[in-house]
Amino acid sequence: MVCDSANAVRRLVVDEADVGNRLDRYLSGMIADISRQRLKALILDGQVSVDGTPKREPAYKVRAGIAIEVLVPEPAPAAPLGEDISLNVAYEDAHLIVIDKPPGLVAHPAPGNETGTLVNALIAHCGDELSGIGGVKRPGIVHRLDKDTSGLLVVAKTDQAHQGLSAQFQAHGSDGLLQREYLALVWGRFERPKGAVDAPIERSRFNRRKMAVAKAGFGRHAITHYAAEAGFTTEAGAEVSRLRLQLETGRTHQIRVHLAAVGHPLLGDSIYGSGFKASEALLPSAAQDALQRLERQALHATVLGFQHPANETAMRFESQMPDDMRAVMDSLTTAR
């Protein structure tokens, strides 16, 4: 094999061991810093030549001795544009950046949130350090937090880092590399201090904005582990628990759906906890005021651990409970 990466051109010669492999798979195995999806796009765009002739078939079977040339165009300018938005950076290097996200910050531009997003902020913050993930200079967000969930989020700067981190998040910790923990304030009392909610999740058939627990045999597999760390009971009888949660899977709204399904929705969750308005009235006035100021679900991504995709170092970060959630907890002065 010969590989020349100068001037954004990769040149390779296929050896006997790779005979019969698909072109896109072969290139993915030989060029580690470009994702297979990106390489497939380059093939379809005519940027990959076999013995001097463009080959637009990702499934083309390679033969021994053929010369392959891959032209990697300069990354296109970032879209959307960068915006000067303050970020709380927990860690940063040439490959990735770890952000402690505040509540209210949307990850990606979308209808209704075209500007003022985490992507806009990262494009401005990282500048020329961003490489062409998927052919565009942009940050690679490999996992998301809901708009109103605060806490730790890791973002790739390079295609190689994006691939490595994505693989870890797809494994959801089954390979021992990824660790994610959340802090939550929920309504009610758990009969067991530790346990798990194992219930498939699908989009609600009655409200497309919501997810819901699905019947057996439907939806996507989802497991949430919980441990009750503290409990509070008001004089009027309202009960609140502080939980530490770990995800075994990563579904949309998973924690919020699972806790609501077992009768313990998050405080402040207007979508999945609206049935607990009567419980709010049983809180002491200081707690009611703190809950009004919270203006979101009481959920915080407190621990994030992963293997660095470039040097395989074990990375671990911890973020303390934010002030708005702590104000609610501190106002519940009667411990159970």
% of the chain exceeding 70 in pLDDT: 93
Q: Which residue has the higher pLDDT, 254 or 235?
A: 254
Interhelix angle 23-30/36-44, nearest 10 degrees: 130
- Count CA within 13 A, CB hemisphere, residue 167: 13
pLDDT confidence of residue 233: 87
Q: What is the mean pLDDT of residues 330-336?
A: 67
How much is the pLDDT for 253? 94
Question: Which letter does DSSP use for residue 259 in this model?
Answer: H
The whole-number average pLDDT for the span 212-223 is 90
DSSP type of residue 147: T
pLDDT band at 205 (very low <50, low <70, confident <90, very high): confident
**Model pLDDT for residues 32-78, shown as the tens digit of each residue:** 777 777 788 889 888 899 998 999 999 999 999 999 999 887 776 66
Name the nearest CA neighbour of 202 among 177, 174, 222, 230.
222
pLDDT class of 139 with cuts at 50, 70, 90: confident
**CA–CA dist 178, 198 (Å, integer):** 20
Q: pLDDT tens digits for 273-332?
A: 888 878 888 899 999 999 999 989 999 999 999 999 999 999 999 999 999 999 999 998
DSSP character string of 111-124:
TTBSSSSHHHHHHH
Whether residue 169 has pLDDT greater than 50: yes
pLDDT over 90 for what percent of the chain?
49
Per-residue pLDDT for 268 more than 70? Answer: yes
Is residue 187 pLDDT above 60, yes or no? yes
Judge contact between 77 and 83, C-beta under 8 A.
no
Give the per-residue pLDDT at 335: 41
Task: Check the CA dihedral 56-156-103-240 and report its sign.
Answer: positive
146 is catalytic: yes
SS3 125: helix
Q: How far is CA 289 from CA 166, 183, 187, 271, in A?
A: 40, 21, 17, 20
Q: Exactly one of 24, 100, 146, 269 is catalytic; which is it? A: 146
Does the structure show a pLDDT above 90 at 194?
A: yes
Tell me the three state secondary structure of residue 285: helix
Q: What local confidence, expressed as pLDDT, does residue 28 receive?
A: 82
Mean pLDDT of 186-203: 93
Domains, the chain, with CATH or none: 6-71 (3.10.290.10), 89-171 (3.30.2350.10), 180-331 (3.30.2350.10)
pLDDT (tens digit, 9 = 90+) per residue, 24-44? 888 888 887 777 777 888 898
Asked if the model's pLDDT at residue 2 lies above 50, the reply is no
Most confidently modeled range among 5-19, 83-97, 268-282: 83-97
The rounded distance, in Å, linking the Cα atoms of 210 and 228 is: 26
Band the pLDDT of 111: cuts 50, 70, 90.
low
Q: Quote the pLDDT of residue 1.
A: 40
pTM for the model:
0.77
Average pLDDT over residues 143-166: 91
Q: What is the mean pLDDT of the chain?
A: 87
The pLDDT tens digits for 118-138 are 888 988 898 878 876 666 667
In this structure, what token pair is assigned to residue 130?
């961003």
